Every structure is written in C-alpha cells, then in structure tokens.
Amino acid sequence: MAIFSSSWELPLVAVCQVTSTPDKQQNFKTCAELVREAARLGACLAFLPEAFDFVARDPAETLRLSEPLDGNLLGGYTQLARECGLWLSLGGFHERGQDWEQTQKIYNCHVLLDNKGSVVATYRKTHLCDVEIPGQGPMRESNSTIPGPSLESPVSTPAGKIGLAICYDMRFPELSLALAQAGAEILTYPSAFGSVTGPAHWEVLLRARAIETQCYVVAAAQCGRHHEKRASYGHSMVVDPWGTVVARCSEGPGLCLARIDLSYLRQLRQQLPVFQHRRPDLYGSLGHPRS
C-alpha cells in the first residue's frame, strides 16, 4: 500500500544505531554525536537503543557500572536534550532503583526525555531475556535485573503518542495490543538482538507488531562487536502501520530518518478497522482466557 504523504512538514524522527562497550564515557560521546546530527537534520525526536549507556562483559560488571536515574549519566542526557532542543528515547538504561540496597539488582529502564530535558516517562522492561540459543550463547538477564511491575501509558510527543517497550518485549503481542488500545500511535522497541535471532526474527517481529496494531514501529538497535563475549545484529529500522519498512540503518554505527504521518495511520485504521472487529467474547482480551 502506498504512502500518500511524504511532506517535509510531517514530524521527522531519527533512529540511532551504536556499538556500546563497557566504556560509558566513550558511549556517551558516540550517542551525543548522533543526537546532535539528528537535531541538525531537523528531527524532533531521537531514539537510542537498549544498553545505550554500556554493554558489560558479565553481570558483576553490569551491576558495578549501573547508576540511579538522578546520576551523572542521565544528567548528561538531560543537558543534551536541552542543548539540542529535541526529545530523546533512551532505550534501556541500567537503572539502580529505589530498592537497590535491598536487592542489589537493577532495572532495564526505557527513559523518555522531552526537549527541556525533563523525564516525562519511564518504563521498566517487564519480559526478561533468559534464553539459550545455539550459536548465540546463553542470556540470563535475570541474573542482574528485576522485571518491571507494569506498563506505561502511551505518551504524547511531537511525533505522536508513543508506547514504550524494550527488545524481548516484542515477542509478546499482548503488550503491543495493550499499548495500541491505550492510544499508542508509535511503538518503540530499542534492542540488542543477537546474531542468530536477528536474521531469523528481527524484521518479521517488528513488521508483525506494526501490522497487528496499525502503529508505526521504531526500533533502534545495537550493532557489531561490543567486546570479546558479545555482538549484536543491528538493522535499526522504522516500520509504518501497513508493515512497510520506511527507513533502515546501514551497517555500523549511524542513524536513519523517517517521517511520521498520523493522517495515513488514521486513514488505514478507518479502512481496515481491526480493533472494531475483535471478539473478546470468544477468546478473551489481550490473550487472557475467558473465565
């Protein structure tokens, strides 16, 4: 299906792709350069991937490098958002929460900053990636991380109403449907997909989430080799509500741009009103069985 509007007047978003390492200072420098480039190109909102702050070698290093939301690192991004005058989706911050002293574990926290640097929303990843994929190595996110307790209501931004999620969450369509039914127009899945699951599932899952919710999907991704123990797939992209990939990053660190056409989204939802046709009387709501 064709996109009928590509006017320069539509809001422009930037999707940033990076290769984070355990070096937090260098990671910030890399991300800040991309955010400044996004602002120079006219974006109103820039998306950074999961683990934009760092990718550690092991759980102990993850815990050692983590910070609270009011720490120095988020302070730097607050200043950056103000300086550049654009919103920032910080896609997966290793957060020492208020229960840090008791648990000695962290949250994987998606932070949304407005163009004045204020925190307008936080979402703590609810589905933790504890998997064993042959050829990719085991992943035990729960060794260092606590699952978040709830979803975050979609947030109004200059690009549209954004529903916050993180990486592995994309495998659970109930979450995306809940956000869409709560009013989301853009779903965002900042990620660090592996080299085996990436080629097999990355684009398929993102396009499926866009089609079933009739939302734009924005997925900023880690890419390349972070250190001797880990590498990520990359292929950051934006998918429109019809399921078409409208922007995609090339190999390596960089950014891609896309315009968000909410009139197109509304037109599509009117022409194909799937949410009006749902039958919760038959199969329950959002995947929950009927009582």
For 2-11, the CB contacts below 8 A with 24+ separation are 3/240, 3/242, 3/244, 3/246, 3/261, 3/264, 4/264, 5/261, 5/263, 5/264, 6/259, 6/261, 7/259, 8/259, 10/259, 10/260, 10/261, 11/44, 11/45, 11/158, 11/159, 11/160, 11/259, 11/260
Q: What are phi and psi of 230, to 5 degrees?
A: -150, 145
Give me the catalytic one of 24, 105, 125, 161.
125
Does 167 qualify as catalytic in the annotation? yes
Question: Distance between CA 27 and CA 18 in Å, rounded?
Answer: 8
Does 223 qualify as catalytic in the annotation? no
Number of neighbouring beta carbons within 10 Å of residue 2: 6
Closest CA relative to residue 221, chosen from 201, 241, 244, 243: 201
Does 125 qualify as catalytic in the annotation? yes
Give me the catalytic one of 24, 44, 50, 84.
50
**What Cα–Cα distance (Å) separates residue 90 from each residue in 34, 74, 123, 175, 194?**
13, 9, 10, 19, 20
Give me the catalytic one of 31, 129, 167, 256.
167
Question: Distance between CA 277 and CA 204 in Å, rounded?
Answer: 24
Which residues are catalytically annotated? 50, 125, 167
